[in-house]
Structure 1
Amino acid sequence: MYTIMVVDDSSFIVDVFVTMLERGGYRTIATYGGQECLDLLKTEKPDLILLDIMMEPMDGRETLERIKTNPKTRDIPVMMLTAKQLTPEEAQEYGIYIEDYVLKPITHRELYDVIEHILQRRTRIRLDVETAKAAGFDQRIIDEYARLSKSIEVNNRLVNILESTYNISDSKARVGDEIARAIKNMTMNISFQEERLGQIREELQLTSDPSQ
């Protein structure tokens, strides 16, 4: 049974998501703020953290940074779960740290699907890493493979959210030059990463695609 930690400074929101998750068969840990989350992580190691952004006094941004800069907790996957509109700056800042960015409200099924996808992706990448290690490949290449396999998928997700938020597909929508340029740069960077990942996959002789 997977353990999910829910972090929000609203007890009502925490209770809602705890109920949803327990109905889906997950074990839950309820935390009502960033500091409480960090304190509990000293003794608990959940399989996934659902972290809200808009919290006080420690917001989700600081909480995320402190989770990911601590060697003991940085490998725990974090999913941002928030009603806050995503900006290009936040997409670039969060992208290296998070597993997904999900906008509230969200249905039971959507939540379960996202969680299962994140956990299955981590399992697939871990198995590929173990296979590559057993075959004696260079650790730096293996680490790069693991990083790119996750970041490409997460960044594609963030770009899709940004395009939807700012109606990029609508020719009548007025999108600022800075926002349009940021989204274009993210898309180009993803393309470069995908090309590099393809090269690494060939070098590691991996036949299955972990993004599928």
Structure 2
Amino acid sequence: MDLTILIVDDSSFIVDGLAAILKRKGYTTLAAHGGDECIRILQTVKPDLILLDIMMEPMDGWETLGKIKENSVTKEIPVLMFSAKKITLAEAQEHSMNLDDFVSKPVSPSQLLDSIQRIFSRRNDVKGEVLVAQSKGIDPVVIDEYSALRKSVEVDKNLLVVLRSSRGMDIPGRDVLPEDVDAIRKLEDKISTSERRLREINELLAKTA
């Protein structure tokens, strides 16, 4: 398994712990103890995945994510965000397109490894599907849309679970702020719309000889 993961967290204890978990599973690890160091490392190294904490100073995870995605050299590197901080609905809406997954601290080794494997598996599946679509002469714009939707549906579904749980929406009788309910419903609607469009594209791929 010749895959490299860059761990970005301003806590050396957390970085060392995550590195130990990943190394036992055969991953090569790199460490950055903050957003600035992460960006410096990415000037010379291109890892297969970035494991990025949100709560860092002075550059937090969201700012670091933005810098990664605005750089044409690094924007395609998958990013798995993690944090003990509850992700807000506004953050989910603003950043979900740039994420490949999100896990909450404390994260169990199995949960972390499952998420990482899910990201790599999805990207490999999409690559294969894109090659098939290209061989069928499918419009490149449609192919790009399909690739983006495959990721966004999975990420949004995971974020929905995290957001519902953090706000106690699955607990009978729990009072939830109306604005939170409204935002959750908008995310549900977005997922439904994306899934519908994915089905349409899949039908197109199935019909194209």
SS in 2 for 1:81: strand
How far apart, in 1, do the equivalents of 2:157 and 2:82 lie? 17
* Residue of structure 1 equivalent to 2:144: 143
SS in 2 for 1:196: helix
How far apart, in 2, do the equivalents of 1:39 and 1:104 lie? 26
Q: Does 1:133 align with 2:134?
A: yes
Q: Does 1:169 align with 2:170?
A: yes
How far apart, in 1, do the equivalents of 2:43 and 2:18 lie? 23
Give the AA of the match of 2:92: A
Identity level (%): 46
* Residue of structure 2 equivalent to 1:201: 202
Alpha-carbon offset, residue 173 of structure 1: 0.6
* Residue of structure 2 equivalent to 1:33: 34
Aligned residues: 206
How far apart, in 2, do the equivalents of 1:108 and 1:62 lie? 26
Give the AA of the match of 1:60: G
* Residue of structure 1 equivalent to 2:185: 184
SS in 1 for 2:97: coil
Alpha-carbon offset, residue 171 of structure 1: 3.1
How far apart, in 2, do the equivalents of 1:150 and 1:136 lie? 22
* Residue of structure 1 equivalent to 2:122: 121
Alpha-carbon offset, residue 168 of structure 1: 1.1
* Residue of structure 1 equivalent to 2:110: 109
* Unmatched 5+ stretches in structure 1: 207-212
Alignment of 1:35-74 (within 5 A): 35-74=36-75
How far apart, in 2, do the equivalents of 1:92 and 1:128 lie? 27
Give the AA of the match of 2:9: D
Alignment RMSD (CA, Å): 1.1
SS in 2 for 1:96: helix
Give the AA of the match of 2:107: I
Query: Deviating runs (4+, > 3 A) in structure 1?
Result: none
